[in-house]
Amino acid sequence: MLELKSLNYQPATAEKAVLVDINLKARRGFPIVIAGASGSGKTSLLEIISGLANLQKGKVFWKEKLLSQRERRWLCGMVFQFPERHFLGLTVGQELRLGHRRISTELQQKVLTKVGLAELDLRQSPEQLSGGQQRRLALAVQLLRKPEVLLLDEPTAGLDWSVRGEILDLLKGLAKDRLLIVVTHEPEFFRELSTQVYHLFQGRLLEKSKFVGANQTK
Ligand SMILES: Nc1ncnc2c1ncn2[C@@H]1O[C@H](COP(=O)(O)OP(=O)(O)OP(=O)(O)O)[C@@H](O)[C@H]1O
Ligand SMILES: [Mg+2]
């Protein structure tokens, strides 16, 4: 279980706190969706959990062990809001191998199959891929690290409807084997993924609403 206790975060350049007294418990198999308007602190929260940013106050535990910022980096895989902006490799193959020089072809193929890119030509550049393929590639890059916690920042932002549905199905599959946290400004889209929906409002994790089954909400 991942546990956040009294997290507070105020970047040096921010006038006021970006995250205030955040408490959350998350377990594998029970994906969490965190909704919030633009500027509510969604990306900041994922940056803290994943150790990309450090907090001023509060603690992050994994299996009841207190984690340092560095340990959080190992634990978590973060898929950015627009991951395609962060591609560094000249080819898809290079992108997959960045940071994993000794990765086996079997593992690479297994992960590509998992994200639905088994047939991809690894010699093309990531820019040549469609928006949905680019998101899948970004997910594959993180899955290769075998993170126990997968954090997704607006995984469907900027994608068209059919592709968003595909990504949602992919996430439903991934959620079975690892802890998943999705932040989004459109929680209703992720209804099928999770019954655990939290709301961030001006840096506070305010309320938790449990969606009843989709067919009961009408
Ligand atoms: N390093 C920083 N320095 C100053 N202010 C920051 C920093 N990081 C975040 N903030 C501020 O914190 C608030 C929350 O930002 P954050 O990016 O986490 O919001 P968000 O919910 O992800 O928004 P969006 O939906 O637009 O992506 C914003 O007001 C932002 O300006
Ligand atoms: Mg954001």
Residues above pLDDT 70, as percent of the chain: 94
Quote the ligand 1 centre to 44 CA distance (angstroms): 6
C-alpha dihedral, 132 to 126 to 87 to 155, nearest 10° = 0
Instruction: Pick the residue whose CA is nearest to atom 6 on ligand 1.
Output: 14
* Res 209: pLDDT: 61
Query: Tokens 């949905």 belong to which residue?
Result: 132
Mutate to test the pocket of ligand 1, among 7, 18, 154, 181 (most ligand atoms within 8 A of CB): 18
Q: Helix or strand or coil: residue 183?
A: strand
Structure tokens at 71: 């340990």
For the stretch 56-72, pLDDT in tens is: 899 999 999 999 999 99
For the stretch 156-210, pLDDT in tens is: 998 888 899 999 999 999 999 999 999 999 999 999 999 889 999 999 998 666 4
Q: How far is Cα 108 from Cα 143, in angstroms, rounded to an integer? A: 10
Q: Does domain 2-90+150-211 have CATH number 2.30.30.90?
A: no
Structure tokens at 137: 């590639």
Entry pTM = 0.92
Task: Parse the chain into domains and list their residue ranges.
Answer: 2-90+150-211
Whether residue 158 has its Cβ less than 6 Å from ligand 1: no
Residues above pLDDT 90, as percent of the chain: 78
